[in-house]
Amino acid sequence: MNLISILLGLAMEYFLGPLDRYRNYTWVDTYLSWLEPKCQRIPAWDGPVGVLVTMAIPIMGLLVLSSLLAHISIVLPYALGLLVFVYCLGPNIDTLLSHYIQALEGNIAEDIAVIEGQLNLKSDPHKFHGDQIITAVLARAHDALFAVVFWFIVLGMSGALLYTLTLLLLTRTAGSRSGYAIAVEELHNILIWPTTRLLATGFALSGSLVDTLEAWRKVEGDTFNCSRQVMLNSGLGALQYEETQQEDEEEAKSRYLQWIREAQALINRTLVVWLTALGFMTLGNVLS
C-alpha cells in the first residue's frame, strides 16, 4: 500500500504542479518554542533524550490521529499517509531544474538568484562550475525525494515525518555544538546512511556503473560521517563528470546547462530504477 501512496503522491506533484505552497513548516518553530522552555531545565534534555522527546510528540500525535481515523473508515489512514508523504516531499527537483534552465537561458537574474538560493548554491554570475551544480542538485534530490521515499517505505508516514523533522532540526541547530545539536546531527547521519548508499547504487544502475563504483571506492572516512560524500561522488562518477578549463563565458555556460540537464536526467532515471525495484519487491511480498 505504501508503494501505491508513493505513486499517487508523485502523480499529484506531476499533474497538479508543485505543491510547495501547502508545505508550511512554521508550526515546527511554534512547537519548539513551546517545548524547549518547558524541558531545558531537565539535565538529560541537552542530548539524545531531548531529540527523542522532540520527535516523539508529533509522531505519536500522528499515529493517534491515524488510529482515530481508522475507527471511522479503513480508507482514511491511507489517505492521511498519502497527505503526509506529499507534505514531507521537498520542492519538486525536476520542475526546479527546468525553471533554472529557463532562467539561465533567458538571463533572468532575479529567478536565477531565487533558485540558486533554494539549491543552497553560491555561484559567481560569470563563472559556471559544473561540479557545484551537480552536487547541489543531487543533495537536494536526496533530501527532498529519495530519503523521504525510503523512510516512508520502511516506517510509513511516521518515517517520512521523522526524516523531515530531522532536516528541519538540523537547519535550526546549524553552527551549535550543544549536546542537543550533536544528537540531531548523529540522528541525521544514521538516517542517511542507508539512503545515500541506495541512491548511489541507483546512480550506478542509471549511469556509468564502473565510474560510479570507482568514485564510491575513493571516499574515505568514518562510515557514518561520509555518507553524503559517498552519494555525491557516486553521482559525479555516474555522470562521468570531468572538470574542463574554459575561457569563453558562453561556452562555459552552455556546458553548465548541459550538466544540469544530465543531472536532471540521472535523477529521473534513478527514480524509475527505485520504483521498479519497489514494484518487484511488492509483487514478491517483500513489501506490503
What angle in degrees, to the nearest 10, is found between the helix axes of 130-141 and 227-238? 120
Query: Per mean pLDDT, which range of 124-128, 170-174, 215-219 is the poorest?
Result: 124-128
Task: Using alpha carbons, select from 270, 262, 210 the residue that is nearest to residue 237.
Answer: 210
Helices and strands of the chain, counted as H and E runs: 13, 0
d(CA 234, CA 230) in angstroms, rounded, equals 6
The pLDDT score that the predictor gives to residue 221 is: 75
pLDDT given at position 30: 93
Cell numbers linked to 57: 510528540
pLDDT value at residue 233: 94
Q: Is the pLDDT of residue 66 over 90?
A: yes
pLDDT value at 137 more than 70: yes
pLDDT surpasses 80 at 122: no
**Per-residue pLDDT at 168:** 95
Q: Where are the domains of the chain?
A: 2-283
The mean per-residue pLDDT over the stretch 262-268 comes to 95
Asked if 228 and 196 touch (Cβ cutoff 8 Å), the reply is: yes
| DSSP-based three-state secondary structure for 222 | coil
pLDDT digits (tens, 9 = 90+) for 144-161: 999 999 999 999 999 999
Q: What is the 3-state secondary structure (H, E, C) of 142-209?
A: HHHHHHHHHHHHHHCHHHHHHHHHHHHHHHHCCCCCCHHHHHHHHHHHHHHHHHHHHHHHHHHHHCCH
Average pLDDT, the chain: 89
- The predicted-structure confidence for 17-30, as pLDDT tens digits, reads as follows 778 878 889 999 99
pLDDT for 124: 59
Q: Which residues contact 95 (CB under 8 A, 6 or more apart)?
A: 17, 18
Instruction: Say which amino acid occupies 92.
Output: N
Mean pLDDT confidence for 64-91: 93
Q: Region 210-230: what's the mean pLDDT?
A: 88
Give the tens place of pLDDT for each residue, 45-58: 989 999 999 999 99
The whole-number average pLDDT for the span 177-200 is 94
Q: Residue 111 corresponds to which cell in the numbers above?
A: 529567478
C-alpha cell at 112: 536565477
The residue among 139, 132, 112 whose CA lies nearest residue 243 is 132
Residue 207 CA to residue 69 CA, distance in Å, equals 43
Question: Which has more pLDDT, 248 or 84?
Answer: 84
pLDDT above 80: residue 287: no
CA distances from 9 to 85, 100, 108, 243 (A): 7, 23, 31, 37
Q: State yes or no: pLDDT of 177 exceeds 90.
A: no
pLDDT given for residue 159 in this prediction: 96
- Region 234-248: mean pLDDT is 83
